[in-house]
Amino acid sequence: MSTLQASYCDQGQALLDQALPEAELARLIAAHLAACAECRQAEAVFQTLAMALRAASAPALPAAVEARLLSRLCSAD
């Protein structure tokens, strides 16, 4: 395995372990997106989906469901 491959494997493992600092993670993602058209396209789709979800309103819970949830939460104390 080359040094470059080992570096990517180490970074990949750190990603899986959620052990990278946020700035390093952002740098790695930006570098990958700059080089990978397929991932840029997927990221654009995810961004569009995220914007649509943020703009959507959540449906109201039926009153009976809300009452049961509140009852269970209050009885858990």
pLDDT reported for residue 18: 74
pLDDT tens, N- to C-terminus, the chain (77 residues): 445 444 555 666 666 677 778 888 888 888 888 988 888 899 899 999 999 999 998 888 899 999 999 999 998 66
Query: 0.85 exceeded by the pTM?
Result: no
Helices (H), the chain: 3-16, 22-35, 37-55, 63-75
Angle between helices 22-35 and 37-55 (to 10 degrees): 120
Reduced to 3 states, what is the DSSP secondary structure of residue 56?
A: coil
CB 22 within 8 A of CB 9: no
pLDDT reported for residue 11: 62
